[in-house]
Structure 1
Amino acid sequence: MILRALLSLCLALPGVAQEFSPNVPDAHTLHLWQFDEDGAPFADAGAYPHPMEGLLNGASAAHSSLPGLGKAMSFHANAGGEPGAPDLRGAILLARPHIDSGPRDNAPEDFRYFGPDGAFTYEAIVRFDILPHEAGVVACGLISMDGDGDDRSFNFRIEKEGFLSFIPLPHGGAGGLALATIPTSGPHAIDTTHWFHAAVSYDGNEGVPNNLKLYWTKLGPDLTEANRIGSGTLSTGFSGGTGDFAIGNEARAFDGNAEAEPFPGLIDEVRISGVARHPSDFFFVDPSSRISPELVVEHRSDEAHRPDSRLRLEEVLVDSSPEMFPAANGGALVLPPGLHRLDFDFGFGPDNPGGAIKLRCQLEGIDDRWQETERGMGLVCQALDKDGRVISQSRFPFIGTSDGWETTLEDSAMIRRVEPVYIPEDAVSLRLSLNSGSPDTTGFVTLDRLALTLPGEPDTSLWKNGSVELNETTARAAGVPVGWHRDGSDPAIARVVFRSGAGSLALVDGDQQRHGEWSSVQPISPGAGGVFVLSWQEAYNVSSGSLHRATYVNVPPGNYTFRVVGLAGENDPLGDGISLPIVIEPPFWRRSWFGPVLAAGLVALVAAGVVARLRLMAKRRVELLRSQNALERDRIRIARDLHDDLGTRVTVLNMTAALARRDIDIDPAKAHRHLDKMTDAAREMVVALDDLVWAVDPAHDTLDHLASHLTRLAEEMFRDSPVRCRLEIPSTLPARPLGAEFRHHLSLAVKESLHNVLQHAGACEVFLSMECDDDRITITIRDTGCGFDPKADRGGRGLGNTPARIREIGGSYAIDSSPSRGTCIVIICRLPKTPT
C-alpha cells in the first residue's frame, strides 16, 4: 500500500504523468458522481441529481485518483461473511443511507437511468488492487440496480472469469445481454497498476443485434476514442422501475444473500447518460476531437457516413479452423479429400445488423431447399447414416433470456423444454451438439436431463448420459462428462457448471471472435425411424451478434455452392446475396486419371515382375557357373598339386626303392642308406598330403585356422634345424571366413619362404609375424641369415613361383635382402568380403 501511495503521489506531480480533466456535465448527463468528498453524501452533478448516501461495509473515500481527477472510492473491504459466497458483506456505496431487505433502500421513483428513447451509457474508471480471479468474490460490481424482492433491474460488472458484462435482471423490463472478454494482452491489457475506463452503451433500438456496446480502455495520453471489446443485444428496453441502486457492489441484503460483489480496488468518475455516447465522447479524449450525440444524429442522416450495408460472408471454418476463401463471386474454395465440417458466418456486419431482414441459406448438393437461418446459440440434433453423413437436422436456438433467468447460470431456474425431432429409418447414429453459434454471439446457456423418447413413453430415454454424473473427472469446470467432448475455436467456452451439488453442460461465451461446443454421438437401433421427442431442462441468457451461422458436418467430396439471400418481404430476394462455390476433391482412386494410371501401373508391374524373374534366373545361372568354375579351378589346383608335389615325391620314392633293390645284395650299407632316404621321403609325402587335405577341408576356411596352420608349419619345419624360429601371431583372431583357394596359395607362399630360409640362410633367427585389420592381412618373414642379392640370384629359391601365387589371390609380395644382412619378405593380401 505504501508503494501504491508513492506511485499515486508521483503520478500527481506536474510533468510526471498526463493531467486529465474530469467529466463536465452536458444536456445528456443524467448523473455524475466524482467522489471528491471525504465522505458521504457524494454529490450528483447530473441533470437529475441524487446524492450517494450509504458508504457501508468498509467502503472508504478520499483515495488518490488519476492526476486532475481529485479523489476516488475504495471498495476493497468487507464487514464479514465468506469470501466467494453469497453471504459476503462487501464494501458498497448505496443511493440510500442504509441497506434494507425491502423497498426502503430503493432509489426514488424519479431516479433516471436511461434517456427518453431508452438509450443510455454507463461508465466509470477503475483501478484494481488485485485481479478479478484472485479477489475471491462472486463478481466485481461496478454499477447496479440489483436488490431484493421485485426491484432487480440490471448489473454492470466484471465477472471473476475475466468478462465485462451488462446483464438485465428480471424486474427491469429489459431482456438480453452484453458480455465480452477483457483483454489480457496488448495495449489495453488488464493489470493492477493502471487506471481503466469501463463503459456500456445502448442506442435504444430494441431487438436490433449489437445495440449494446462494451468498452474497456487503458487510460493514457493521446487516446482518440474508447476501445470497444464487444457487443450485445437488448431485445427490449427498461420499463422504468427502480430498485436498490449501488456503486461498487450489488445491494442484496436478505438471509443467505448479502453484498457479495465488492469491487477489489478503486472507482471514480461514475456517469450515467441518457444517450449512447460515441466512442470518442469521453473525458479522456481531447474535446476538439469528440463527436457529440448531436453530431452522431447528423452523421446517421448523412449518406456519405452510412456504413456499407451489403450482405457479406465474414468467415468460413473448415473442421473448426479458419479458411481463406475467394473474396469475389466466381472463385472456388478448394478443399482436400475427406469428410469435412463446414461453418459459414455471414451477415450485415457489426454496424449494420440488418434489422428484421430474414436470411435464407442453401448448400447446393446437400440441402434440397432453402433454410431460414437463426442467430444465437443452439442445440443441434443430427441423424447420421452408416457413412457418417447427415441425413436430417433440427436446430433449437437459444436467444434472449429464458424464463426464470436471474443473474448467473447457478442461481437461475431450469425450465423444461420439449421438441419433436424426425429421424429417418436409414439413420444408424444420432449426434447432439450444444454450440455457441457465430463468434460474435455471447452469453450463457446450461442444459441438463437430456432425453430422447418415443411419443407416449416419457419414462424410457434412448439417449444415454443425458445428465452429468459427478465423479473425479467431472467435478470441475474443465471436466468432461462420459460420452461428450469439447470442440470449437475455443473449447474452454464449453464447461461444466454446478447447481445444488449436481453438474450440467454449459457454454460461457464472452469472446466476440471465438466459439465453443459440446458434442456427443450415440448409436440408435437400425430401422428405428420416425418422430421422437427430445426434451431437456435449460436456462440461458444469450445475446446474438449480427452474424448468422450455417453448419454442415461430414460433407463428402463433391462440387457444391453455398448461397445466402436476404428477404425483404416473405419471399422477395434482397440484393445479390452470397455465392461461394466449394470443391471437395475426391480421393485419388476416384479421379479420372486413376483408372488409366492404375492400368499402366499394373502393366508396368507385371513387366517389372517378368524382368525381375528373368534377371533372377540369369543371376542363378551365373552363380551356378561361378560355382562350377570355382569347383573346376579347385580340381585343377588339386590335380596340379598332386602332380607337382606328391607325384614328384612318389617318383623319387620309386627310384630310391629300385636303387635299394639293386644294392641290397651288392652293397648292403648303400642299400640301407637308400631305405633311410625312402623313409624320409614317405614321411615328407605324408606331411605334404596332410597339407593338401588341410587346404581343401571347408572346416579350415577361417582366419584363425590359417594362423594355427602356419604356426604348426613353422614349428615342424625348424624343429631339428640350426634356425631358431620366433612367432609373433595374435593370440585371438576374428573367425573371418576364407576361401580354400586363398588359404592354399597363402599357406604355400609362406611355406616356400620359410623353406628358403631353412635351405639358404644358414644358422640364424627367423621371425614370423601376422597382423590383421578389418579388410587385410599382413604376414612378415624376416631372418638374420646370410642374405643374398635378389637381382643376381637366379637359383631355386622359389622366388618366381611364390609372388605368382600371391598375385593370383589379389595380394602383393615384397622381398628385401642383401648379402650378410638377412632377408625380409612382406606379404599383404586383402581379405575376402564377408558374404551377406
Structure 2
Amino acid sequence: MFSGMHAARAELAPYEADGDTLHLWHLDESGPPFADEIPGGRPMVGLLNGARAEQEALPGLGKSVSFNANAGGTSGTSDLRGAILISAPSLNNGADDNAPAGFRYFGPDGAFTYEMVVKLDVLPKDSTQIALDLLTMEGDGADRIFNFRMEKEGFLVFVPLPHCGASGGAIATIPTSGPNKPDTEHWFHVAVSYNGNGGAANNLKLYWTRVGGGAVVANHIGSGTLSSDLNGLVGDLAIGNEAREFVGNAEAEPFPGLIDEVRISGVARHPSDFFFIPPEQRRNPAHVQTDAQKVVPPPEFDLELIDVLVDSSSAIPLGAGKPLELSAGLHRLDFDFGFRPESGDAGGSLQTAVDMKLRCQLEGVDDQWQETEVGMGLVFQALDSNNRVVSQSRFPTVGRSEGWKTTLEDSAMTRRVEPVYLPANAKKLKLILNSGSRDTTGFFAIDYIGLQMAGEGNPSLLENGVFTYNAYTTSPAGSPAGWHRGGSDPSIARMILRPDRPGIGLVDGDQQKFGEWTAVQTLLPAIQNTVTYSLVWYEAYNVIGGSTHRATYVNVPPGEYTFRAIGLTGMGGVASDELSLAIKIHPPFWQQVWFLPVVTAACVALFAGAIFSSHRSRSKRSMERLRFQNALEKDRTRIARDMHDDLGSRVTFINMSAALAQRDIERAPENARRHLSKMTESARDLIVAMDGLVWAVDPAHDTLDHLASHLTRLAEEMFRDTSVRCRMDIPSFLPALPLGSDVRHHIALAVKESFHNVLRHAGPCEVFFSMEFDGGRILITIRDTGVGFDPATDERGHGLDNLAERFKEIGGACKISSSPGSGTSIVLSCGVKETPGKK
C-alpha cells in the first residue's frame, strides 16, 4: 500500500520563506531558541513542561518537537501543566504577552494561512487531554485572539476568541475513512486559511492531508466564516498548547505527539501551495486587494438549489425543468439554497452575509416573500389533533452567545425569552433543536426550557424541559426523558455534560449532514389556548452559518406549488437571477379524477363477477356430483365383475366338490374326504377373497397408510409356511392421504398377482418388497432372487400383461425386468390425487 511512499518522502524539502511568509519555524534545533527563518522574526525560546526537541521527523525535514509530556497536574482538567513551546522563556501570569506588539499573523488584507506537520502518539478519541492544541494566541486577560486545535470528538477547529475583533470560525470532521484517516504511524499536514473577505460565506478553509499518500492538493475537509478580519491585537503565542497561566488554569491542552515545520503566511494559500506538492505543480496564492486599493464591481449573483428534503429525506437529484412529484399526504419540505462561488479560486464565494439578503416564497402557501435565516435554531410548533402544525416559531442562533469561552461545557449559559402563541385548535406542543442546513457547523446547547404565563416566577408548563443527571443522561450518547434524536446524522445530537446540570446540544462538524432533538407533549389542562406565553430557555452557542439558506414548510397539503428564491444586495437593491422549482403533491386516490369512473366500473365488474362466480360454482358442484356418481358406478361395476369372476367361480367349485363328495361318501370314502378337504380349502380362499373385496369397498380404508398395512398383511399371509423368505421395507409413517377404492383395488390385486408369480415360478428364494411415497407418486418394488426368465423368448402368461393393464387404467406404469438366474424385478408406480367427492 505504501510502496511508493518512500520515494515520495525522499523528495520532500523544508519550506523556504517567500514573500508571503510571515513566520517559519523548522524546529530542527537541539533545543531553544528555535529560529524564525524570516529576517527579524520571532524565535521560539520557551520549551517547557517536558517538551522534547530533536525528535524524529519526515525524511528531508530534519527534526521535530514532541509535546506528549507534562510537568504535573491531572490529565483532563484545567490544572494540567502540559508540554508547550512559546516565544518567551517562561509563561506570563497576567496581562503581559510573550509576543511583541506589532507581531504579524495576517497579511495586509487580513488573509492568513496557519499550517504545520503533525504525527499523533494517540488518536484524539483516546487522548486524556481537554483538547489537542496546534497553534494558539491566547492570554490571561483581554488578549485572547485565536485557537487552532483538534477536539477529542474528532474535529479540526479554528476558534476566534473574544478579543480578536471577529466572530464565527470553522469546525470540520477529520476523515474517519480513506487515505486521510488519522493514525499513529504517518505524518499529516494540517492547515487553516482565511481569504481576507470578512463576512463572506466560507471564507475559512480547513485542510487535513496525509503526507506521502500521493495527494496533488491539500485535502479540504470543511469551511467556515469569519465575520471580519482579525484586529491585530497580540497575546501569548504558543505551539502545541494554550499559553494561559493563572490560578485554577494551566497549560491543559498539550498536543499528544510530534509537531514540525510550522508556517504562518499572510495570504490564503492555494491547496496546492504546500511542501508535500512537487514544486512544479504548486500554484502561488492569488492576492486579494486591500480595502484601500480594491474597487469592487457590482456583484453578479447566481442562485443554486442545493437540496430539497421531503419529510427529512433528500429528494435530490432533480430533473432539469421537471417538477418535484410527491406522493399523496401532508409533507414537510425543506429547501436548501444559496449562491454559487463566482470563480474556482480557493476563496470561494465573494458575496457577503452583510451585504446580501435572500428571500423566498412557496406560491400557494405564502402570500408574501419571506426572508430566510441561517444557523442553528430552536423551533416551537403547535399541533392539532391530527399532528398537523397550526402555528410555528423559529428562533435562530448564529455567531457566539454572550459568555462563550471555548466549549459547551465551560461556557456560560445565557437566558433567552421569546413570545409564542397557541391557536384555538392546538392540542400538542413540539420542540425541535435543529442544526440547520447541512453546511452549518458549530455548537449549540440548552440546559433548561420552559413555557410559562407572562410574568416573573410563574411555573413552567412543559413536562421535559428540566434535565438532570440520571442513568439515561450520564454520557454524550444518553437521552433525557421525552427527547429523541433525528436528522441525517443523529449522532450530531448529544448530551452536554456540564458541571451543574446536563443539557441537550448539537455538535456539528460535518458540512454534508444535520441532526436534531425533538420532543412532543400533549397540552396539559393548565395550558389555555388563544393565549400568548413566554418560551424561556438557557443557551450557549458558537454557530458558524454556511452559505446555504434553508426555508421550511410543514404539512404542505396536496396541490401544485412553485418554490421561488431571489437575492438582494443591501446597497442598491441589485437582484439576482430567480430560482424556481415546480412541486406537485398528488391528491389521495379517492380525490383523483379517475377514481369515480374506476369505482363505478369496478362495482359493475364485481356484480358481474359475482353472478358468473355463482353460476360457475353451481356448475362445478354439478360436475363434481356427476364425477362422483360415475366413480360410484365404476366401483359397482368392478365389484359386480369381481364377484362374478372370482367369487362366482369359487362358489361353483365348492358346489361341484360338495356334489362329488356326496356321490362318493358311501362307495369311495377316501375320494369323499379328498373332495371335502378341497371344499374346506376353497371356503377358506373364499373368505380371504371376500375379506379383500370388503376391504376394497370399505371407505374407512381409502387412505395410503391403510393400503400399506393391507399389503404388509398380504405379504405375511402369502409367504408364511413357504420356501420364499420375504423382506419388507415399508415407511414407519405414511400420510393418511385419501385414495379412491379403484386405485386401492388395482394396486392390491397387482401386488397380490406379483406375489403369486413369485410363489409359482421363482422357486426357493428371497423376495424384497418396498413401498415409497415422494409426495406425489406411490412407488412399489417387488424383487426376487429366483430363477428369473428371458422376457424376449419365454412365453408370458396373462398375469404380467394384467399388471400393466391395471396400472394403465389408474394412470400408472408397470416396469418388469428379469434375466435367467438373476431373478425378477417389478416396479409399480402411479400418481396420487384427491378422490372426487371426498374431502
TM over 0.5: yes
The equivalent residue for 2:616 is 615
Q: What is the one-letter code of the residue matched to 1:141?
A: D
Residue 140 (structure 2) pairs with residue 148 (structure 1): yes
Distance 1:517 1:22 in 2: 47
Q: Give per-residue Cα distances to partners, 1:652-703, cap 9 Å, x unaligned.
A: 7778889999x89xx9647997899589658745752662354134155523
Asked if 1 retains the 8 angstrom alpha-carbon contact of 2:328 and 2:587, the reply is yes
Specify which of 290, 294, 315 is matched with residue 284 of structure 2: 290
Q: CA deviation at 1:378?
A: 1.0
Q: Judging changes above 3 Å, is the alpha-carbon distance between structure 1 residues 770 and 496 closer, same or farther for their aligned structure 2 residues?
A: closer
Q: Give per-residue Cα distances to partners, 1:602-627, cap 9 Å, x unaligned.
A: 44444444444433333332332233
SS of 1:575 mapped into structure 2: coil
Q: Give per-residue Cα distances to partners, 1:626-665, cap 9 Å, x unaligned.
A: 332333333344444555566667677778889999x89x
SS of 1:144 mapped into structure 2: strand
Q: What is the one-letter code of the residue matched to 1:363?
A: L
The equivalent residue for 1:346 is 337
The equivalent residue for 1:708 is 713
Q: Which runs of 5+ in 2 are unaligned?
A: 341-347
Distance 1:124 1:608 in 2: 80
Q: Judging changes above 3 Å, is the alpha-carbon distance between structure 1 residues 672 and 79 closer, same or farther for their aligned structure 2 residues?
A: closer
Q: Give per-residue Cα distances to partners, 1:204-226, cap 9 Å, x unaligned.
A: 54444334333445556998765
The equivalent residue for 1:3 is none
Distance 1:87 1:767 in 2: 99
Q: Give per-residue Cα distances to partners, 1:416-444, cap 9 Å, x unaligned.
A: 11111123222333222212212222211
Specify which of 218, 223, 229 is matched with residue 231 of structure 1: 223
Distance 1:22 1:125 in 2: 14
Summarize the alignment of residues 499-648 of structure 1 with structure 2, pairs less than 5 Å apart.
499-500=498-499, 502-524=501-523, 528-568=529-569, 574-643=575-644
The equivalent residue for 1:688 is 686
Asked if 2 retains the 8 angstrom alpha-carbon contact of 1:98 and 1:105, the reply is no
Q: What is the one-letter code of the residue matched to 2:636?
A: R
Q: Percent identity?
A: 51
Residue 481 (structure 2) pairs with residue 490 (structure 1): no
Distance 1:206 1:754 in 2: 107
Asked if 1 retains the 8 angstrom alpha-carbon contact of 2:301 and 2:576, the reply is no
Q: CA deviation at 1:259?
A: 0.5
Summarize the alignment of residues 311-390 of structure 1 with structure 2, pairs less than 5 Å apart.
311-326=303-318, 328=320, 330-349=321-340, 350-355=348-353, 356-390=355-389
The equivalent residue for 2:17 is 23
SS of 2:621 mapped into structure 1: helix
Distance 1:709 1:611 in 2: 51
Asked if 2 retains the 8 angstrom alpha-carbon contact of 1:496 and 1:504, the reply is yes
Which shifted more, 421-430 or 644-653? 644-653
Q: CA deviation at 1:234?
A: 2.7
The equivalent residue for 1:123 is 114
Give the paired residue count: 803
Asked if 2 retains the 8 angstrom alpha-carbon contact of 1:142 and 1:248, the reply is yes
The equivalent residue for 1:246 is 238
SS of 1:464 mapped into structure 2: coil
Which shifted more, 465-474 or 577-586? 465-474
Distance 2:214 2:748 in 1: 99
Q: CA deviation at 1:508?
A: 1.5
Residue 148 (structure 2) pairs with residue 171 (structure 1): no
Distance 1:299 1:225 in 2: 31
Q: Judging changes above 3 Å, is the alpha-carbon distance between structure 1 residues 34 and 733 closer, same or farther for their aligned structure 2 residues?
A: closer
SS of 1:252 mapped into structure 2: coil
Summarize the alignment of residues 472-491 of structure 1 with structure 2, pairs less than 5 Å apart.
472-491=471-490
Q: Judging changes above 3 Å, is the alpha-carbon distance between structure 1 residues 573 and 619 closer, same or farther for their aligned structure 2 residues?
A: farther
Distance 1:309 1:92 in 2: 47
Q: CA deviation at 1:70?
A: 5.6
Asked if 1 retains the 8 angstrom alpha-carbon contact of 2:811 and 2:830, the reply is no
Q: What is the one-letter code of the residue matched to 2:594?
A: W
Q: Give per-residue Cα distances to partners, 1:562-612, cap 9 Å, x unaligned.
A: 111223469968233211112234455554334444444444444444444
- TM-score (norm. length: structure 1): 0.81
Which shifted more, 28-37 or 620-629? 28-37
Q: Judging changes above 3 Å, is the alpha-carbon distance between structure 1 residues 805 and 165 closer, same or farther for their aligned structure 2 residues?
A: closer
Q: CA deviation at 1:124?
A: 3.4
Distance 2:689 2:224 in 1: 105
The equivalent residue for 1:418 is 417
Distance 2:648 2:216 in 1: 118
Q: Judging changes above 3 Å, is the alpha-carbon distance between structure 1 residues 687 and 500 closer, same or farther for their aligned structure 2 residues?
A: same
Q: What is the one-letter code of the residue matched to 1:559?
A: E
Q: Judging changes above 3 Å, is the alpha-carbon distance between structure 1 residues 354 and 592 closer, same or farther for their aligned structure 2 residues?
A: farther
RMSD of aligned residue pairs (Cα, Å): 4.8
Asked if 1 retains the 8 angstrom alpha-carbon contact of 2:451 and 2:536, the reply is yes
SS of 1:574 mapped into structure 2: coil
Which shifted more, 704-713 or 493-502? 704-713
Q: Judging changes above 3 Å, is the alpha-carbon distance between structure 1 residues 687 and 23 closer, same or farther for their aligned structure 2 residues?
A: same
Q: CA deviation at 1:396?
A: 0.7
Which shifted more, 176-185 or 747-756? 747-756
Q: What is the one-letter code of the residue matched to 1:703?
A: A
Asked if 2 retains the 8 angstrom alpha-carbon contact of 1:96 and 1:107, the reply is yes
Q: CA deviation at 1:449?
A: 0.7
SS of 1:576 mapped into structure 2: coil
SS of 1:579 mapped into structure 2: strand
Q: Judging changes above 3 Å, is the alpha-carbon distance between structure 1 residues 73 and 309 closer, same or farther for their aligned structure 2 residues?
A: farther
Distance 2:221 2:758 in 1: 104
Q: What is the one-letter code of the residue matched to 1:351?
A: S
Q: CA deviation at 1:86?
A: 1.1
Q: CA deviation at 1:476?
A: 1.4
Q: Give per-residue Cα distances to partners, 1:163-219, cap 9 Å, x unaligned.
A: 232222223333222222334555655455555444434455444433433344555
Q: What is the one-letter code of the residue matched to 2:387?
A: G
SS of 1:580 mapped into structure 2: strand
Q: CA deviation at 1:123?
A: 1.7
The equivalent residue for 2:436 is 437
Distance 1:143 1:814 in 2: 95
Summarize the alignment of residues 722-801 of structure 1 with structure 2, pairs less than 5 Å apart.
726=724, 728=726, 730=728, 732=730, 739-742=740-743, 770-774=769-773, 775-777=778-780
Which shifted more, 158-167 or 763-772? 763-772
Distance 2:54 2:658 in 1: 142
Asked if 2 retains the 8 angstrom alpha-carbon contact of 1:216 and 1:229, the reply is yes
- TM-score (norm. length: structure 2): 0.81
Q: What is the one-letter code of the residue matched to 2:151?
A: E
Q: What is the one-letter code of the residue matched to 2:461?
A: L
Q: Give per-residue Cα distances to partners, 1:37-78, cap 9 Å, x unaligned.
A: 554444556587544443322234455666666654443322
The equivalent residue for 1:5 is none
Q: CA deviation at 1:505?
A: 0.9
Distance 2:565 2:666 in 1: 134
Distance 1:652 1:223 in 2: 110
Q: Judging changes above 3 Å, is the alpha-carbon distance between structure 1 residues 658 and 244 closer, same or farther for their aligned structure 2 residues?
A: closer
